[in-house]
Amino acid sequence: MKVAIASGKGGTGKTTVAVNLALALEEVQLFDCDVEEPNCNLFLGFELEPLEAVTCLVPEIDPERCALCGNCASFCKFNALAALPNKILSFPSLCHGCGGCSFVCPAGAIDEKPRSIGLIEKNSSDSSLTFFRGVLNVGEAMATPVIRALQRHIDESRHAIIDSPPGTACPVLAVLGCADYCVLVTESTPFGFHDFLLALEAARIFQVPVGVVLNRDGLGDSRVEEFCRAEGIPILLRIPNDRMIARFYSEGVPFVKEMSGWKEKFKVMFEMIRAQACKNMGVS
Ligand code: SF4
Ligand code: SF4
């Protein structure tokens, strides 16, 4: 089973939930798909080894063969090519590697060359937790191919916890598209509620069953709770606005390791997830 941990915005405690859940379970895989800011290992402290360089195919134009027809630039919806009267300019960082420009080129003037956009890493030390993370190169905009490369490492015979990027853009949709269940981490504040609704809408596109973790419970109001009750969305776990939890977080320590009872609470949460996901898949 693949469980995505998502939130409509950053800073809601998504990574805390992903790491603590993974540490509470046995023999699971944790994937840090927040490739622009992969923070899980700040809490895990694993030695990491490079596993795979992620590349994107970008066009290289042969000026000798190019007839300056402009077909390639007109085709590119990402503005990665611009036709000038005497040459075609290319902006590789905007290229999505779709290959369309070389397809429409009548002169066979376009070659596709790999360009490095990121890296996949894995923990090298022995642990019951297998950890993978994707790291997008600095200044690079193309997060989705790195996430897809990470997803190819999922061992389907074991449970996978996937720390999703924040927001509701393409990289998040890439994670939700492969998930069997989505945990939405939110706070019950006006902004939290707004972002929660956006994330819920994204999960519903893929018809992924959803449950909620209320972080910093006790702050704000009851609007998330009332909404969930009305919509039949389970509150899987409440993490209180607790000084001890905040202190462990600021020290980079997963609180399931230090605070008694929390491992059990995360395990119970996982059982609720499993039951709901199985029901959704029609598995008993
Ligand atoms: S490969 Fe696709 S995205 Fe990249 S320049 Fe060509 S048409 Fe544009
Ligand atoms: S489509 Fe081919 S021939 Fe036309 S401008 Fe682009 S590279 Fe040149």
Domains plus CATH for the chain? 1-45+124-279 (3.40.50.300), 53-114 (3.30.70.20)
Instruction: Tell me what the mean pLDDT of segment 58-79 comes to.
Output: 96
pLDDT number for residue 63 = 95
What's the alpha-carbon Rg for the chain, to the nearest Å?
22
Distance 93 CA to ligand 1 centre (A): 10
Query: Measured from the CB, is residue 105 less than 6 Å from ligand 2?
Result: yes
Three-state SS for 60-115 is EECCCCCCCCCHHHHHCCCCCEEECCCCEEECHHHCCCCCHHHHHCCCCCEEEEEE
Residue partners of 48: CB distance under 8 A and separation at least 6? 41, 121, 122, 123, 124, 131, 133
Q: 60 or 125: whose pLDDT is higher?
A: 60
Q: Are 31 and 151 in contact (CB under 8 A)?
A: yes
Query: Measured from the CB, is residue 71 less than 6 Å from ligand 2?
Result: yes
- Give the position, in ligand 1's atom list, of the atom nearest the Cα of 96: 3
Please name which of 116, 105, 94, 104 lies closest in space to residue 63, comparing C-alpha atoms: 105
Instruction: Tell me what the mean pLDDT of segment 44-51 comes to.
Output: 95
pLDDT tens-place string over residues 239-272? 998 899 999 999 999 999 999 999 999 999 999 9
- Give the position, in ligand 2's atom list, of the atom nearest the Cα of 65: 3
Closest listed ligand to the CA of 75: 1
Distance 59 CA to ligand 1 centre (A): 7
pLDDT tens-place string over residues 108-160? 999 999 999 999 999 987 788 999 999 999 988 889 999 999 999 999 999 99
E-strand spans in 143-189? 160-163, 181-186
Q: Are 133 and 1 in contact (CB under 8 A)?
A: no
pLDDT tens-place string over residues 93-103? 889 889 999 99
pLDDT number for residue 170 = 84
Q: Name all residues whose Cβ lies below 6 A of ligand 1.
A: 59, 75-76, 78, 80-81, 95-101
Instruction: Evaluate if residue 233 carries a pLDDT over 70.
Output: yes
Distances (CA, A) of 213 to 21, 42, 116, 243: 12, 21, 36, 18
Please name which of 130, 175, 158, 190 lies closest in space to residue 33, comparing C-alpha atoms: 175
Q: 133 or 173: whose pLDDT is higher?
A: 133
- Give the position, in ligand 2's atom list, of the atom nearest the Cα of 66: 8
pLDDT band at 284 (very low <50, low <70, confident <90, very high): low
- List phi, psi (to 5°) of 150: -60, -45
Distance 226 CA to ligand 2 centre (A): 57
Please name which of 15, 104, 5, 119 lies closest in space to residue 61, comparing C-alpha atoms: 104
Distance 177 CA to ligand 1 centre (A): 23
Centre a 10 Å sphere on the Cβ of residue 271 and count the other Cβ atoms it contains: 10
- Give the position, in ligand 1's atom list, of the atom nearest the Cα of 97: 1
Mean pLDDT rounded to a whole number for the chain: 92
How many angstroms separate the CA atoms of 121 and 119, rounded? Answer: 6
How many angstroms separate the CA atoms of 156 and 33, rounded? Answer: 17
Distance 80 CA to ligand 1 centre (A): 6
Burial class (CB in 10 A: 0-12, 13-18, 19+), 171: buried
Whose CA is closest to atom 8 on ligand 2?
Answer: 66
Closest listed ligand to the CA of 58: 1
